[in-house]
Amino acid sequence: MREMQPNPAILPEDAPHGAAAGDAVLVRIAATAASKEDAIRQAGQMLVAAGCVAPGYEDSMVRREDVANTFLGAGVAIPHGLGEDKGLVRRDGIAVLQLRDGVEWNPGQTAQLVVGIAASSDSHIAILRRLTRLIQDEARLAALIASDDPHAIARALGEDGAAPTSAAPVADLAHSAQWTVDYPAGLHARPASAWMDAARAAPAALRVRHGHDSADPKSLVSLLQLGLKQGDTITVSADGPQGRAAVDQFLAVARRLTAREKEDAARAAAKVAAAAAQNGGKGWQPETPLAMLAGVAASPGLAIGRVHVVAAAELTVPDEPVDLGRGGAMLDEALRRTRAQMTALIDDTTRRLGAGDAAIFKAQADLLDDTDLITLTCQLMVEGHGVAWSWHQAVSRIAGQLSALGNPVLAARAADLHDVGRRVLAAIDPALATGSLETLPDGPDAAPCVLLAGDLSPSDTATLDPAKVAGIATALGGPTSHSAILARTLGLPSVVALGNDLLALGAGATVIVDGDAGRVWLDPTAADIASAQAWIDRIAARRRAQEAERSRPAITTDGHQVAIAANVNRPDSVAFALAEGAEGVGLMRTEFLFLERGDTPGEDEQEAIYRAMITALGDGPDGHRPLIVRALDIGGDKQVPHLDLPTEENPFLGVRGARLLLRRPDLLDPQLRALYRAAKHGGDLSIMFPMITSTWELQRLRARCEEIRAELDAPAVPIGIMIEVPAAAVQAAALAEHADFFSIGTNDLTQYTLAIDRQNPDLAAEADSLHPAVLRLIALTVEGAATHGRWVGVCGGLAGDPFGAALLTGLGVSELSMTPRDIPAVKARLRGASLADLQDLARRALAQPGAAQVRALDAGAA
């Protein structure tokens, strides 16, 4: 029913809890609007008709939209006139259009309550404060959007009551069911994010209660504040005719996650056990009784060092009030840019570590959409504070609430919130993008220190230099935090959740961090330091021996050598890859040069990066180490905001990779020019095009390469393609005529062959590159390449799996490119087998009915 009310106006005398004295609250129930402008004009005309504003104010409201975003959030928009037209306001009032079907306000933002504001004074802020409070109460807001009672809306906008707390009342709703949390790590951010998605998709508003605490499951923070642990029983409830279905659906999602949570916990435990075993089994024990702080082991190994206390990053965020409309737009833009950064991070992690780990980052990104957080920020802004200040306050307050609950899972989430919060702050004002680690002891005599901090953000941890830092100890944090993951990647022993006593330690004191046992030993004696050092030296010697092995080539027992390369995107990561045993770079994903920044790197800048890669690779025993640079693989899931690519319904099937390059010479040409300019300075450079489906694409791209090469008088370089689309694998022989080499992207080839979105965590287990269908396409590719004597590499995830690498070698693949840390295990596996055995293994694998049966051959493999 979309009828326009004949007499829409409710004047203050009708409103039982009227707005501030003299304010008019005008409400039009079940209105319709053809467009945003139509909605704004309707609201403006209501204000004109009620005598709140002079005619012409509607125009001013419409013009304002050109300079500011008036979408407040949660379906509420607040159009109002330009500051210079305040003279048109005769008395304060608001006109509310209830648009049940909504109207698109901005792309992706739909307004259902359009609140036109006429305000000559501070009453504007008062109105906004009420609105932002209302936004916090999602259930009430939803009721108002559906209500037939204009008085209810007038009352809601006239109330100045206390801000609701994030905890909803503890009574259950009409339909309820109980469930006992059986996730070993409790409700941490990743499953909470899935709960949130389920609640948002549910046909009725839900409530989750644990004891006296209850949460709105549409809010991630609200859910996390429950601090649910394994064994906690919750009651999920909902009202209305769809209430039962909503509860059942929600709990089905919660239950479905159990298996994966258990698997993850088992895998994490196995990793810790393996690390401990590698570090000498029983671990190190002091020889004398020492004072000790007990925490949670986060990254294995032992570190001795003087304490360097990282002062809690006391970031001074100036409070610089701005016009509310502009402030809203600034916040919106900063959140948009941060979301894009997070998309890049999720994408990168999915590729390097898999969809399971990337889901942790997705949960961090979800915090950006948390209504509690946004509303609190808006509230502070409407109170007259600056954007950056309000955001910083909101993050600090909510993170403070999470940390105060004394639950390690929540403490880890608080760190994530601070971290993502800092990204937004830097996006609001780049001057606020300060790190907190500038004062690390430096200089030639400075021994690596032990960092002591309240908590360390993932971003801070990622920038740590192991030459300056020996280990990490934090008062807060959890072993599943991003910081812990990064510390493990960096090989820095780390203990978290040591409590505030840790921070009482003075700078300069010596400690021993035991990342296996989760302990920090204080004031060790000289004898203890010596024995700990001997233990560290033993582990290091073992590692060095492994490293020596890593640098040996991967030659099978019958003398067949497989080229082993690394997937590396940045020059400063090359040294690590070489240390792990890489013989070159088989895949440099250049999209990360574009994804992580707000603009497109120019030709000169790109050339400098490619040259730096070549220089970092240097020469190996057989001359220049090879570098394969993949041309920009943008589009689809990899959105670069500043390129303004159109939104696609099925981005993985859209204008992606080579398809985009062929449409955007402004992206292709500078990259090719930069590559050929770099090639003129030497090195062993190859260019590779992603997502090739048909021969004409390759022919066109190749022709463009040749034109640019000739213009620059540059040397010819090999031009290869990725085989990622089944069509390309099937037509490998035709493509091989025009390509100098192939590199199989098993991540995409698996996705397209099995029709499984590679980012879908629910299907992650089924997206198995060992599926015989994928293996058969690889075999076809090798066969097709051979018709023109081309070599075939693999740079997708399968290359880094020792069993996968063995199979691929048996299938005839001659180069494997992988995440650097996978190299030692892959080399060891290949060295232990004969090519004949691997070919036999490949033959048997191709004959299997499914991925599980292929995997089962692993035990019998060499």
Nearer to Mg ion, 408 or 745 (CB): 745
Among 745, 761, 800, 810, binds Mg ion (CB under 5 A): 745
Q: Would you call 449 a catalytic residue per the annotation?
A: no
Amino acid letter for position 91: R
Which is nearer to ligand PEP, 220 or 667 (by Cβ)?
Answer: 667
- Over the range 392-418, which residues count as b (16 or more CB within 10 Å of their CB) and which as e? bbbbbebbebbbebebbbbbbbbbbbb
| Distance in Å, CB of 632 to Mg ion, minimum | 12
* Per CB under 6 A, 781 contacts ligand PEP: no
793 binding Mg ion? (CB under 5 A): no
Calculate ∠ Cα 615-616-620, nearest 5°: 90
Alpha helices in 202-323 (DSSP H): 220-225, 243-278
Among Mg ion, ligand PEP, none, the one that 589 touches (CB under a kind-dependent 5 to 8 A) is: ligand PEP
Q: Which is nearer to Mg ion, 676 or 689 (CB)?
A: 689
Kindly tell me which of 159 and 766 has the beta carbon lying closer to ligand PEP: 766
Instruction: For residue 96, give the 3-state DSSP assignment.
Output: strand
Nearer to ligand PEP, 199 or 795 (CB): 795
Nearer to ligand PEP, 606 or 746 (CB): 746
Is 261 or 748 the residue whose CB approaches Mg ion more closely?
748
Least distance from C-beta 583 to ligand PEP, angstroms? Answer: 18
Residue pair 188/225 in contact by the 8 Å Cβ criterion:
no
Q: Which residue, 689, 656, 659, 677, is CA-closest to 606? A: 677
CA angle 484, 486, 492 (to 5 degrees): 80
- Identify the DSSP state of 790: -
**CA dist., res. 851 & res. 301, Å (int):** 36
With CB under 5 A as the rule, give the number of residues binding Mg ion: 3
Work out whether 686 is an interface residue with ligand PEP (CB under 6 A): no
Q: Quick one: which of 349, 747, 753, 759 contacts ligand PEP (CB under 6 A)? A: 747
| Residue 520 C-beta: closest distance to ligand PEP, Å | 40
Catalytic residue among 385, 482, 738, 771: 482
Answer yes or no whether residue 81 interacts with Mg ion by CB under 5 A. no
Largest CA distance in the chain: 95
**Three-state SS across 601-612?**
CCHHHHHHHHHH
800 binding ligand PEP? (CB under 6 A): no
**80 in contact with ligand PEP (CB under 6 A):** no
636 contacts ligand PEP (rule: CB under 6 A): no
- Two tokens at 620? 């190996």
Local structure of 792: helix, strand or coil: strand
**Closest CB 35 distance from ligand PEP, rounded Å:** 39
Options 46-54, 297-305, 679-687, 744-752: segment touching ligand PEP (CB under 6 A): 744-752
Q: How far is the CB of 710 from ligand PEP (least distance, A)?
A: 30
H or E stretch covering 743:
strand 741-744
Residue 642: DSSP 8-state: G
- Count of residues in contact with ligand PEP, rule CB under 6 A: 11
Closer by beta carbon to ligand PEP, 452 or else 587: 587
Catalytic residue (choose from 80, 210, 418, 771): 80
User: Using the rule CB under 6 A, is 352 a contact of ligand PEP?
Assistant: no
- CA-CA distance, 684 to 617, in Å (whole number)? 10
Which of these, 236, 246, 178, lies nearest to 207 by C-alpha position? 236
Stretch that binds ligand PEP, among 63-71, 150-158, 290-298, 742-750 (CB under 6 A): 742-750
**Does residue 75 bind Mg ion (CB under 5 A)?**
no
124 contacts: CB under 8 Å, gap ≥ 6? 80, 117, 324
Sign (positive or negative) of CA dihedral 679, 683, 684, 685 = negative
Stretch touching ligand PEP by CB under 6 A, among 49-57, 77-85, 746-754, 785-793: 746-754
CB 745 within 8 A of CB 723: yes
Site for ligand PEP contains 516 (CB under 6 A): no
Nearest distance in Å: CB 745, ligand PEP = 3
Q: Which of 340, 795, 816, 838 binds ligand PEP (CB under 6 A)?
A: 795
Q: At what angle do helices 802-811 and 772-786 cross, to 10 degrees?
A: 40
Q: Residues 261, 724, 740, 801: which binds ligand PEP (CB under 6 A)?
A: 724
Which residue is catalytic, options 124, 175, 188, 771?
Answer: 188
Judged by CB under 6 A, the stretch of 70-78, 217-225, 576-584, 739-747 that binds ligand PEP is 739-747
Is residue 348 part of the contact set for Mg ion (CB under 5 A)? Answer: no
At 800, give phi and psi (nearest 5°).
Answer: -90, -5
Per CB under 6 A, 738 contacts ligand PEP: no
Q: Would you say 536 or 632 has its CB closer to ligand PEP?
A: 632
Q: Checking DSSP bridges between strand 296-299 and strand 302-309, what pairing results, if any? A: unpaired
The reply on whether position 748 binds Mg ion by CB under 5 A is yes
Can you list the alpha helix ranges (DSSP code H) found in 746-834?
746-754, 772-786, 802-811, 823-831
385 is catalytic: no
- The span from the CA of 686 to the CA of 792, in Å, is 14
Asked whether the beta carbons of 220 and 196 are under 8 A apart, the reply is yes
Query: What character string, x for contact with Mg ion (CB under 5 A) and - otherwise, covers 712-741?
Result: ------------x-----------------
In 572-668 the beta strands, taken as DSSP E runs, fall at 585-589, 619-620, 623-624, 626-630
Q: Rounded CA gap, 206 and 246, in Å? A: 7
- Cβ of residue 570: shortest distance to ligand PEP, in angstroms? 15
* Token pair listed for 108: 């992706």
Active site residues: 80, 188, 482, 795
Residues found near Mg ion in the complex (CB under 5 A): 724, 745, 748
Residues found near ligand PEP in the complex (CB under 6 A): 351, 587, 589, 633, 724, 745-748, 795-796
